[in-house]
């Protein structure tokens, strides 16, 4: 029996992989990638069946972020050209949620720029939107920065189901990505969200110059936090950011990353979100056999995504179904 097959069976049985095992997987060659994908697909099917979850977001507050995350077009430290506007109204957020629901999204996220939503007025506006969105037949989520427990509890009481807050990068690489806040700030926010009873979505962004071993390191740090879903973003270099000249990850490299995460986090919802169109190119359909059971429908915060109807057709062509 091949080592990939052995590790596949170990993952399905509920036995944790070691860091050395995961590093071996992510270091497979291009020639071995299809074997890795087939094994990851078996793990995905075992835990997730043939269902795909579809997220959609609204950029509810754009630009002028105080943080200096190297990849972010919305950072005030960078010179990227992005729209700048204050928090939109709860009515506008709700209309965006309705549109997302009609296109087939199963979860809708309110996303804001900045280290955190701070003012009571802004929190109240988001809570007003959540009270309306919770009546739709879909999950809801917010990605609104580093928040204390009392604010997270307020959001939950208003109807929030899931809080999204990425770690972005492994602890050993985080200071290369951002210096205006700490890795621990992000970890503490995720823990606080779980403590108030919120479901958590927590992942990272890849292609920033981190090593393969640091990609594995992040997976195990996520495993320790035990989020319900893990979004994987791939760098889409934006002109005017510190990451503008970094090379794109190759399609097979992205698929190996995704498959390795499925081995490490076998029962989690794992999605590939930002950057998939640019890095996977013609191999986008393989993201599901490689381990994903979740993706984003429509546009991202500052970049365009596939047309929703094209992604829905791709899912149907693979014999998969959108989760209710």
Write the pLDDT tens digit of every residue in 118-153. Answer: 788 999 999 999 999 988 888 999 999 999 999 999
Yes or no: say if 48 and 288 are a contact pair by the CB < 8 Å rule: no
Question: Is pLDDT above 60 for 303?
Answer: no
Radius of gyration of the chain measured on its C-alpha atoms: 19
Residue 138 lies in a domain: yes
Express each pLDDT in 190-234 by its tens digit: 999 999 999 999 999 999 999 999 999 999 999 999 999 999 999
pLDDT attached to residue 302: 54
Calpha distance 287→280 (Å, rounded): 8
Name the band, by pLDDT with cuts 50, 70 and 90, for residue 299: low
CB 74 within 8 A of CB 82: yes
pLDDT over 90, % of the chain: 75
Residue recorded with tokens 């993952």: 11
Q: Report how far apart, in Å, the C-alpha atoms of 177 and of each of 172, 207, 210, 233 are.
A: 10, 11, 10, 14
Task: Give the pLDDT of residue 269.
Answer: 97
> Three-state DSSP class for 33?
helix
Q: What is the mean pLDDT of the chain?
A: 92
Placement of tokens 């094209």 in the chain: 310
Cβ-based neighbours of 108, under 8 Å, separated by 6 or more:
55, 56, 57, 58, 96, 97, 100, 101, 133, 136, 138, 139, 140, 141
Alpha carbon separation from 313 to 161, 224, 306 (Å, rounded): 28, 36, 11
237 assigned to some structural domain: yes
Three-point CA angle 313, 314, 315, nearest 5°? 90
Does residue 11 belong to any structural domain of this protein? no
- Give the span between the Cα atoms of 189 and 139, in whole angstroms: 21
The residue written with tokens 């204390």 in the block is 148
Range of the domain at 125: 16-322
**CA neighbor of 200 nearest in space, from 215, 189, 209, 216:** 189
9-23, 97-111, 189-203: the lowest-pLDDT one: 97-111
Which residues, listed in sequence order, are joined to residue 229 by a DSSP beta bridge?
Answer: 201, 269
What's the total number of domains in the chain? 1
Higher pLDDT, 53 or 66: 53
Q: Please tell me the predicted confidence (pLDDT) of residue 158.
A: 93
- Tell whether 10 is covered by a domain: no
Q: How far apart are CA 295 and CA 301, in angstroms?
A: 15
pLDDT digits (tens, 9 = 90+) for 88-103: 999 999 999 999 888 8
SS3 call for 37: helix
pTM: 0.94
Q: What is the CATH number of the domain that holds 239?
A: 3.20.20.70
Residue 5 lies in a domain: no
Asked whether residue 246 is domain-assigned, the answer is yes
Residue owning tokens 């959540």? 130
Q: Alpha helix locations (H) across the chain?
A: 3-12, 19-26, 33-48, 90-103, 120-133, 149-157, 174-177, 183-195, 212-225, 251-264, 276-280, 308-317
Evaluate whether 54 touches 297 at the Cβ level (below 8 Å).
yes
Cα(245)–Cα(106) distance, integer angstroms: 35
Give CA–CA dist 302/238, Å, rounded: 9
pLDDT band at 22 (very low <50, low <70, confident <90, very high): very high
* The token pair that represents 256 in the structure block: 């190996």
Report the percent of the chain where pLDDT is more than 70: 98
Which pLDDT score is estimated for 117? 85
- Any domain includes 100: yes
Pull the structure tokens for residue 259.
């498959």
The reply to whether 2 falls in a domain is: no
| 274 vs 9, higher pLDDT | 9
pLDDT at 163 > cutoff 60: yes
- pLDDT category at 304 given cuts 50, 70, 90 is low
Q: Tell me the mean pLDDT in the region 280-285.
A: 96
Is residue 301 over pLDDT 70?
A: no
């Amino acid at each position: 029996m091949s080592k990939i097959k052995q590790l596949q069976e170990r993952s399905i049985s509920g036995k944790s992989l070691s860091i050395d095992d995961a590093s071996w997987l992510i270091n497979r060659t291009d020639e071995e990638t299809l074997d890795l994908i087939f094994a990851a697909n078996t793990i995905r099917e075992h835990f997730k069946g043939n269902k795909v979850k579809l997220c959609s977001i609204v950029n509810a507050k754009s630009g002028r972020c105080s943080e200096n995350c190297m990849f972010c077009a919305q950072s005030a430290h960078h010179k990227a050209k992005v729209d700048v506007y204050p928090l939109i109204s709860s009515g506008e957020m709700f209309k965006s949620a309705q549109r997302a629901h009609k296109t087939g999204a199963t979860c809708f996220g309110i996303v804001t720029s900045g280290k955190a939503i701070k003012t009571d007025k802004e929190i109240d506006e988001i809570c007003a939107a959540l009270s309306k969105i919770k009546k739709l037949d879909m999950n809801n989520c917010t990605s609104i920065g580093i928040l204390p427990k009392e604010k997270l509890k307020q959001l939950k009481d208003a109807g929030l189901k899931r809080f999204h807050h990425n770690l972005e990068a492994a602890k050993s690489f985080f200071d290369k990505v951002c210096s205006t806040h700490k890795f621990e700030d992000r970890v503490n926010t995720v823990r606080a969200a779980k403590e108030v009873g919120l479901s958590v979505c927590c992942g990272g962004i890849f292609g920033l110059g981190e090593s393969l071993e640091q990609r594995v390191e992040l997976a195990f740090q996520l495993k320790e936090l035990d989020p319900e879903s893990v979004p994987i973003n791939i760098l889409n270099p934006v002109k005017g950011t510190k990451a503008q000249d970094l090379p794109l990850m190759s399609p097979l490299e992205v698929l190996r990353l995704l498959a390795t995460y499925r081995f490490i986090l076998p029962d989690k919802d794992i999605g590939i979100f930002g950057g998939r169109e640019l890095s996977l190119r013609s191999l986008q359909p393989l993201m599901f056999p490689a381990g994903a059971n979740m993706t984003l429908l429509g546009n991202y915060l500052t970049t365009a995504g596939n047309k929703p109807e094209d992604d829905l057709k791709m899912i149907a062509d693979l014999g998969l179904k959108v989760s209710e």
